Structure 1
Amino acid sequence: MHRIIHRPLEILREGGPRALFRKSCSKLNRQFYRNFTTGHFNSSGTSVFERDWDNLLILDACRYDIFEEVNSFRGDLETHCSLGSSSREFVRANFADRTLHDVVVVSANGWYKKISDTSGKINVDVHDLIVVDNKSVESHKSDIDTVRPDREWILPEAVTNEACDAIERYPNKRIIVHYHQPHTPYIGPTGKEYAGELPQKFDGKEELRTSHEILRRAYRENLEIVLEEVGGLYPELTGKTVISADHGDLLGERGFPIPVREYGHPSQAYREELVRVPWFNLPFDERKEIIAESPSDNRKNDLSIDEVNERLKKLGYKI
């Protein structure tokens, strides 16, 4: 009961009546979509483990339509229907009740560790789980201060560095590399220029104080930045590599049935912009020999659950 009362008051205090109205309408719209699914996930979606890949590169909050516009790699673009409209749902739905000792996860997204350490029913049961931080990128401090010092995110260079290390250590494992971008904060030129006017968390308490054109431009730049990193990682990979996403993102589209503008990627909101994501097959010469082995005893994961919780809070997730 305390949380039911506290959350609206928090939004009203920090975002004002308009933010509270929009958040309330968005919640009703989410209830509309939940009425057409079963269970706690998008029942129309498909697990990534039911699809064919040796290396899966996940771009966080990547929309299909903007990926199609921005992508310049050779390959075949398909659509994939995600099991969730948020990272938490994506991880829970794809990893629940699965033994994946042939998989290594390199992730800038804290939900893999959060769910493994705190869930009584769901565990990310993989050979190795590597949660990335910015320590391997010397220039990260100045970049973070330029955008929003009160926000937490992982630079794509740090993810690529850890991924290259994992590829070398685990040549016979399927590799999942989960980048943070194009998720907020926006770290490209437009994101830096309009840092004080662009919402950085889309948690209902921040308002868009600029145009939707600028918002989409900032989002595109984030996608371009992470795709440049993918271009550097791809030659290091052996086997069949796929670029996909955990979910999409709302950039001011009108909701349904209540036509308020909506932003971000709330859980249990199974509209097309959030669950229709790219599935891009990159060219390859030969497949990897995949071997399942017991989980690594030397997991390269230095983050405590408290550090993961703090990171998720700064990204706008409710913990």
Structure 2
Amino acid sequence: MVKEINQLEKLTKQEWDYLLVLDACRYDYFKKLYKDFFKEGKLEKVNSPASETSEWAKKAFSGCFNDIVYLSANPRINSKVEVKGFKANKHFHKVIDIWNHGWNQKLGTVHPKTVNESLKRAILAWNNSKKFIAHYIQPHEPYIEVEKTGDKSVGVASLLPRKFRMSIGRTIRDYLSPNIYNLVSNTFGLDYSSSLRLKDAKEKGTDFLKTCYVKNLKIALAELTKLLNESSEKIVITADHGEYLGECNKYGHPPGEESPHVREVPWFESFN
């Protein structure tokens, strides 16, 4: 019987210089694709302690890590506020909010290229005196190479030009909390992002959804390849959790899930 590897044990040892976290990256999909992008390295399957980001962060980084700079494209890990009991500033030397300054309004997310650029600047700023964690959004939705089709606006909003509604969406996003913004934008068709979301992709069927997920993962891996090719440091690629893609008629990564689909993630050590 193969022994299950706990991701927490790997994280605690900190046997890496740069830890690259792919949000919602499943082990099985990473295994199918990684050899197309990385020439050398060792891949292991590890078990994440959680099925969503906030829960993962609390369990993975419960201590104080003054030797780590955390660059986050995911607003659930940020320097500004506590999210579900995790206040990142208390746990790391520095938290850099890429989700704040690097957000691409058209895509509705942070492109992995932007994370790479921020990481390179941080490495120069600290002159390699710290370890770095870079948290990428992909393969998590939205699916940035799959544009939305159709117009789901309703009521009065449906009478307004889509370009005008998108402009309103850009404005209110800066003033509303994410939950309220999502409610308003979904109700009145104010979403300005051109990228497809999970709720729309799953309506087209699981095969289509999986294709979208793979495209997002390939975009991230292509950018990570560039980073690995430019560095001689020890780099590890992993994920915070996985993702349901229609298995058992489930989607996304609800908190408290135990299924391998949301708990089994890659641990890839690059041999540079």
Q: What is the TM-score when the length of structure 2 is the normalising length? A: 0.72
Which AA in structure 1 matches 2:44? Answer: E
Cα distance, 1:201 vs structure 2: 4.8
> What is the root-mean-square deviation in Å for CA atoms of aligned residues?
2.7
Match of 1:108 in 2: 73
- Rounded to whole Å, the distance in 1 between the matches of 2:271 and 2:70 is 22
Q: Where do residues 302-317 of structure 1 align in structure 2 (5 Å cutoff)?
A: none
Match of 2:52 in 1: 86
Which AA in structure 2 matches 1:177? Answer: A
Cα distance, 1:252 vs structure 2: 0.1
Question: Kindly tell me: are residues 275 and 50 of structure 1, through their superposed partners in 2, closer, same or farther at Cα, counting changes over 3 Å?
Answer: farther
Question: Kindly tell me: are residues 219 and 195 of structure 1, through their superposed partners in 2, closer, same or farther at Cα, counting changes over 3 Å?
Answer: farther
Identical pairs, percent: 32
Contact 2:54 2:86 (C-alpha < 8 Å) held by counterparts: no
Question: Kindly tell me: are residues 251 and 163 of structure 1, through their superposed partners in 2, closer, same or farther at Cα, counting changes over 3 Å?
Answer: same
- Rounded to whole Å, the distance in 1 between the matches of 2:84 and 2:29 is 37
Contact 2:72 2:99 (C-alpha < 8 Å) held by counterparts: no
1:211 to 202, 205, 211: 205
Number of equivalences: 218
Contact 1:199 1:208 (C-alpha < 8 Å) held by counterparts: no
2:138 to 167, 171, 181: 181
- Rounded to whole Å, the distance in 1 between the matches of 2:14 and 2:70 is 17
Contact 1:95 1:122 (C-alpha < 8 Å) held by counterparts: no
Match of 1:298 in 2: none
Match of 1:155 in 2: 111
- Rounded to whole Å, the distance in 1 between the matches of 2:61 and 2:22 is 17
Is it true that 1:117 corresponds to 2:74 in the alignment? no
Match of 1:266 in 2: 254
Which AA in structure 2 matches 1:107? Answer: S
Contact 1:83 1:93 (C-alpha < 8 Å) held by counterparts: yes
Is it true that 1:283 corresponds to 2:268 in the alignment? no
Q: Where do residues 1-319 of structure 1 align in structure 2 (5 Å cutoff)?
A: 46-47=8-9, 48-71=11-34, 72=36, 73=38, 74-96=40-62, 98-113=63-78, 117-118=81-82, 122-124=86-88, 125-133=91-99, 135=101, 140-141=104-105, 143-144=106-107, 152-170=108-126, 171-188=128-145, 191-192=146-147, 200-201=197-198, 208-254=202-248, 261-284=249-272
Which AA in structure 1 matches 2:33? Answer: V
Question: Kindly tell me: are residues 94 and 224 of structure 1, through their superposed partners in 2, closer, same or farther at Cα, counting changes over 3 Å?
Answer: same
Question: Kindly tell me: are residues 235 and 280 of structure 1, through their superposed partners in 2, closer, same or farther at Cα, counting changes over 3 Å?
Answer: same
More strand by share: 2
Listed as ranges, the gaps of 5+ residues in structure 1 are: 1-43, 145-151, 255-260, 285-319
Contact 1:86 1:266 (C-alpha < 8 Å) held by counterparts: yes
Structure 1 residue matching 2:250: 3-state secondary structure: strand
Listed as ranges, the gaps of 5+ residues in structure 2 are: 1-5, 153-194
